Structure 1
Amino acid sequence: MNKKPNIIFIHNDHQAYYRWGWDQGTKPKRPNFDKLAQEGAEFNNVYCATPLCGPTRRSVLTGLFPHTHGQTHNYTDPEYNHEVYLNTLAEAGYKNYYYGKWHAGPGAANDHQCEGFSHTDYGNPYITDAYEDYVKRYNLPKAVHRIEKVFDIPEFETQGFFLKLKKGADYQCESSWCGEHAIGVTTTPKETHESFFLANLACEQLEKLAKEKDGKPFSLRVDFWGPHQPHFPTQEFLDMYDDIDVPEYGSFRSNLEGKPEFYHRERSLPFGKDNKIIIPSPVEWEEWKEIVKHCYAHITMVDAAGGMIIDKLKELGLDENTLIIWTTDHGDALASHGGHFDKGSYLSEEVVRIPLAMSWKGRIPAGQVKDEYVSTVDFPVTILDAAGTKFTKNPVHGESLLPLVTGETNEWREDIMSETHGHGYGEEVISRMIVHGEYKYIYTKDHVNELYNLKDDPFELNNLIDNKEYDEILKDMQARLVKWQTKTNDPEKIL
């Protein structure tokens, strides 16, 4: 197959994922993602470059870890001084289309040779001209959300949007940021929700491309704002979890013993007066279950929207030579480590592990389940490899996944790195992580370091860092991390 493939990249935001293997009960329903995985390959050990939106999104664009591309927090916005895969695709003859959330530093997707719809900064789709035009064309009302619970966060009490979030109230997000800490239900048709708004825009573009038939390859990327909170699924998706129990999460009652102190300062439900997590959680699991169900229903809703895009691709016959990738930017700490939500300055499995499925008819054999270590920085390298090109203006940290899934090679890395520079609120936290086999080591500057046996302790409750029996394992993990740091020119020295 010599013709360059089309490329579909579906990118969710902030998705609860790794908990699925542990709760032994309800798991989010992802029929469309699962179908894609069955048609190609699913990866079990994928780690984001960093568990924070802006920095890891720039890693997806550049194939670089944050310590190199320079965006270490959501709102540190250095100019783009490194090659972006979208521009490289355009130079290779691709037509690029981008729909949805940007949140990857200055500008937006149209600054990188893309057509479509994207928004500077975090963005709120519900106040854009594109959304206004969409609801008019489809004769839809604007999205309305009925609030069922508001998370008690003192720091937000004076912000206008927070004052509007009252239990039982109908709410429309009209501010510049729409990441409210609340759950509820979208009472208008599902097509009014941002996920279906974006899916419909993408489907319209696919229809135009099918009519053009100019033989030029295209890249279409869709970045949903969900399933990041606020969790406002429609009743249709909530009903899928109505009669299902959600067992208590394994680290829900953790007292954070052996953890770095900043675990106490990250987002919890609710905050204490000193802005620290309350241990034990004053919110009982029965109430937490409803929050988790809303999160799961939101995941299923976004899955349905993503499935629309893939179905439209097949309906139009555009799937014959198309690489499809579906993933998310980072995970979600929901209900973990004493009652956290969102994410924080830590590198727990809940926030660093992410889903990934790929298919390419005729190139990627179906039904594969891969356990090799994969990173966010591999995604753009893989896309460019499929397009027959590569990054040329600067070295990158990622590797193409294509030789791994096409069977061209069995050789692959034995460990994987991730990093964080903190959540960006308050003090900076500098951490580096390495995972190899059963073990995970986390270096944090000026704080307690961490060592876990993920096989025996998947919830990371027992920090082995001071256990002398693990000294040799610790030395090996540190040496592995130093190799990654050397390879990626990481200026932070752990030893």
Structure 2
Amino acid sequence: MKKIFILLLISFLTCDLFAQQRYNVVFILADDHRYDAMGFMDKFKGLKTPNMDMLAANGAHIKNAFVATALCSPSRATILTGLYPHAHTVVDNQSPVPDNLRFFPEYMQQQGYQTGFFGKWHMGSDGAEKQRGFDQWVSFRGQGVYYNPTLSVNGKAVSYKDSSYVSDLLTDYALEFMTKRKRDKPFFVYLSHKGVHLDFVPAKRHKGMYENLTFNAPPSMFNTATDSSDYIDLWKEKSNPKIQGGYPVNHNDIPKWVRNQRDSYHGVDKMYYGTPKFLPFYRDYLETLMGVDESVGRVIDYLKKNNLLQNTVVFYMGDNGFSFGEHGLIDKRHAYEESMRVPLLVYAPSFIEPGTKVDQVVQNVDIAPTILDIARVPKPGNFQGSSFLPLLKKQSIPWRDRAFYEYYWEYAYPQTPSMFAVRSDRYKYIFNYGNWEINELYDLKADPYEMNNLIRKPEHAQLALGFRKEIFDWLEKTGGLQIPLRPLKDQPRIDHLYKDTY
């Protein structure tokens, strides 16, 4: 009896201590990092990400992490606001940030946190102006460059030469901020990498490390291929990949826009209308990722050396995924797994058990409320996401079993339609809005590569109708029953796509 009392007392004191603890938080965001491009996932044979692997082994791996839109600006705005894209209205890479939007670091500042932003902002404008919510600010214009960047350091332009690599520089600034912080206040670091956004350029120390790495083509890569496809004979190269098979394929019900996109800017046969070859492009991506992985390692090493691990929580996440040939596509934007699914790791030795696996559906809309929960900052009433802190602590709480997705047609990339999607633990339904096309329904357990569209199967008709109703109920409930439009003067110039039109 005495032993039970002592255990209960320890448990109470531990919970009370957590409630009073003001944890430091480091949030590391990578660009275009797909969910399975980490060594421990064993998807890309030969890929080594030792520091990400360490986070997963000694912290929590959120296995079903998704973004609400697979596009830079909308995803980043969702992370910062706790709102779905249709609610914060930054629905593409040109939409302005409304003046009334509040970013969650603002609430942390009000509660005494020292806050710093380091890296790619890319939201609302191409400028690198200091944004609200951050005491320290280091950024760059637009997408920036990998080598010798010009950074905006608290509004002052600082140019670098001598082969300075941007992932290293941003990490340097983040570590400097933590070193110079006031010791009597907690801190929040938002380290937002350019890597691994194209055009992929690895650090010189990593260039060539994967030159002999082979590529295993995804089964869906050739579903949309024609006799004229540029890459139908690509695999005669030394990579000699093995194509996994054995999955049912419904060639008749592949949406026309997917077939057409293979031969477009975001397809494997035309690849950005430029000169990248698929295999070097693929290897450059993985080599560029090494700079981001090393950044994670440097942050963890700093926290260890400065005795900060026990009162710091480290997040690692991607802003969206990236396609490497699935359905004949590259890039992102669409609602297939490799685009809308992202890596999400959380490391906190003081309260997360090593090897924790979180199976529940978590989205980028949940990041802001979770970090505020960790910081003991009250959740704003307008947030649409929820804190998954209890899931990290293996507590049983009511939680969603759906991920919702939206993408709005972009003037610059007309080959991809507006679409909405809902994904459960077994099925995905994609509503291709804005064209008279077929919609999509996949059984992800039987068809993980999304090759067998079940939408015309009579036995699945009610299931599809139910999912469609869920999408529009979600949009209505969260204020999304409108298609965002902007004047053409705000659109990028793409005269090469529209000649003699007004």
**TM bin (shorter chain):** 0.7 to 0.9
Match of 2:320 in 1: 330
Residue 16 of structure 1: which of 16, 28, 34 is its match? Answer: 34
Deviation at 1:64, TM superposition (A): 0.7
Offset at residue 103 of structure 1 (A): 0.9
Give the distance between the partners of 2:75 and 2:43, measured in 1 at CA: 30
Counterpart Cα distance in 2 of 1:134 and 1:128: 4
User: 1:430 aligned to 2:418?
Assistant: yes
CA positional deviation for 1:325: 0.6
Within 5 Å, give how 1:207-226 maps onto structure 2.
207-209=179-181, 212-213=182-183, 215-226=184-195
The amino acid of 2:460's aligned partner reads: Y
Q: 2:175 corresponds to which residue?
A: 203
Deviations 1:16-58 (A, max 9, x none): 3347799855163221112112222001111111001011110
Is 1:99–1:221's contact at 8 Å kept on the other side of the alignment? yes
Which residue of 1 is the match for residue 294 of structure 2? 304
In structure 1, the residue matched to 2:453 is: 463
Task: Give 2:59's aligned amino acid.
Answer: G
Could you say which structure has the greater relative contact order, defined with CA pairs below 8 angstroms and 6 or more residues apart? 1
- 1:380 maps to a residue whose letter is A
SS in 2 for 1:324: strand
Q: What is the aligned partner in structure 1 of residue 356 from structure 2?
A: 368
**Whole-angstrom distance in 2 between the partners of 1:22 and 1:476:** 33
Q: Which of residues 233, 241, 249 in structure 1 aligns to 2:202?
A: 233
The one of 189, 213, 235 equivalent to 1:244 is 213
Selected match of 1:395 from 382, 404, 420: 382
Q: What is the TM-score when the length of structure 2 is the normalising length?
A: 0.78
Letter of the 1:259 counterpart: I
SS of equivalent to 2:175: helix
Identity of aligned residues (%): 28
Tell me which stretches of 4 or more aligned residues in structure 1 moved more than 6 Å: 19-23, 278-281
Alignment match, 1:4: 22
Is 1:82 matched up with 2:51? Answer: no
Indicate conservation of the 8 Å contact 1:373/1:415, yes or no: yes
CA-to-partner distance for each residue in 1:418-476, whole Å, 9 max, x for gaps? 11113442548321111112110011213321111112222212211111121232233
3-state DSSP of counterpart to 2:326: coil
Work out whether 1:128 is the aligned partner of 2:169.
no
8 Å Cα contact 1:88-1:391 kept in structure 2: no
Q: For 1:234-313, list aligned pairs within 5 A.
A: 234=203, 236-255=205-224, 257=251, 258-264=253-259, 266=261, 277=267, 288-313=278-303
Change (3 A) 1:50 1:361: same
Contact 2:140 2:152 in 1 (8 A): no
Given that 1:227 and 1:299 are in contact with CA atoms closer than 8 Å, whether structure 2 keeps it comes out as yes
464, 473, 484: which is aligned to 2:474? 484
- After superposition, the Cα gap between the structure-2 partners of 1:318 and 1:337, relative to the gap in structure 1 and judged at 3 Å, is same
Conserved? CA contact 1:83–1:391, under 8 Å: no
Give the direction of change, closer, same or farther, for the CA distance of 1:85–1:251 in structure 2 (3 Å limit): same
Q: Does 1:377 align with 2:365?
A: yes
Question: Which of 446, 463, 477 is the aligned partner of 1:473?
Answer: 463
Question: How many angstroms apart in 2 are the aligned matches of 1:319 and 1:487?
Answer: 40
1:349 to 306, 322, 337: 337
Contact 1:46–1:354, Cα closer than 8 Å, also in 2? yes
2:394 corresponds to: 407
What is the aligned residue count?
A: 426
What runs of 5+ residues in structure 1 fail to find an aligned partner?
136-140, 144-191
- Does the aligned pair in 2 maintain the 1:259–1:463 contact within 8 Å? yes
Which digits, 9 at most, give the CA deviation of each residue in 1:115-170, with x for residues without a partner?
130235444474415698575xxxxx433xxxxxxxxxxxxxxxxxxxxxxxxxxx
Residue 118 in structure 1 maps to residue 139 in structure 2: yes
Q: Please give the secondary structure, in 2, of the residue aligned with 1:35.
A: helix
Distance 1:116 1:78 in 2: 18
Q: Greater shift after overlay, 53-62 or 382-391?
A: 382-391
2:109 alignment partner, SS class: helix
Q: CA deviation at 1:361?
A: 2.5
Distance 1:128 1:476 in 2: 51
| Cα distance per residue 1:72-115 (max 9 Å; x no partner) | 11001142323210111111111110100001224657321311
Question: Alignment partner of 2:330: what SS?
Answer: coil
- What is the CA–CA distance in structure 2 between the aligned matches of 1:362 and 1:373, rounded to whole Å? 24
Q: Return the alpha-carbon distance in structure 2 between the equivalents of residues 200 and 86 of structure 1.
A: 21
- The CA distance in 2 between the partners of 1:380 and 1:390, in whole Å, is 11
Match of 1:33 among 34, 45, 52: 52
Contact map agreement 2:37 2:43 (CA 8 A) in 1: no
Deviations 1:177-233 (A, max 9, x none): xxxxxxxxxxxxxxx221111111111222222xx42x1111011000011111211
1:6–1:323 Cα contact (<8 Å) kept = yes
Q: CA 1:76 to 1:18, structure 2 compared with 1: closer, same or farther past 3 Å?
A: same
Partner in structure 1 of residue 61 of structure 2: 42
Taking only aligned residues, the RMSD between alpha carbons, in angstroms, comes to: 2.9
CA contact 2:65–2:362 (8 Å) conserved in 1: yes
CA distance in 1 between partners of 2:109 and 2:48 (Å): 36
1:369 Cα offset (Å): 1.2
Query: How big is the shift at 1:265?
Result: 5.4
Q: Distance in 2 between matches of 1:451 and 1:104?
A: 32
> Which residue does 1:170 correspond to in 2?
none
